[in-house]
Amino acid sequence: MFGTLVNFGAIVVGGAIGMKFKSFLPQRVIDLLFQVFGLFTLYLGFSMSLKTQNAILLAFSLILGALTGSVLNLQDKTDRLGEFIKSKFNLKGDKFTEGFLVASLLFCMGPVAILGSIEEGVGHEPKLLLIKSLMDGIASIALASSLGIGVIFSSVPILIYQGFLTILAMWLGSSFSELMINELSAVGGILLIGMAISILDIKKIRVIDFITALIYIVPLIYFFS
Q: What is the pLDDT of residues 101-119, one digit of tens each?
A: 878 878 887 667 877 887 7
**What pLDDT does 149 receive?**
84
Please write down the HEC assignment for all residues of the chain.
CHHHHHHHHHHHHHHHHHHHHHCCCCHHHHHHHHHHHHHHHHHHHHHHHCCCCCHHHHHHHHHHHHHHHHHHCHHHHHHHHHHHHHHHCCCCCCCHHHHHHHHHHHHHHCHHHHHHHHHHHCCCCCHHHHHHHHHHHHHHHHHHHHHCCHHHHCHHHHHHHHHHHHHHHHHHHHHCCHHHHHHHHHHHHHHHHHHHHHHCCCCCCCHHHHCCHHHHHHHHHHHHC
The confidence score (pLDDT) of residue 175 equals 66
What pTM did the predictor assign? Answer: 0.74
Residue 28 is predicted with a pLDDT of: 79
Overall average pLDDT of the 168-189 stretch = 78
Identify the residue with better confidence: 56 or 125: 56
Cβ 162 vs Cβ 7: under 8 Å: yes
Query: pLDDT, tens digit, for every residue of 136-149?
Result: 888 888 888 877 88
Q: Is residue 165 scored above 90 in pLDDT?
A: no
Who has greater pLDDT, 172 or 42?
A: 42
- Please tell me the least confidently modeled range out of 16-20, 90-94, 202-206: 90-94
pLDDT for residue 30 is more than 60: yes
The 10s digit of each residue's pLDDT in 42-99 is 888 898 889 898 999 999 999 999 999 999 988 888 777 777 766 766 665 567 777 8
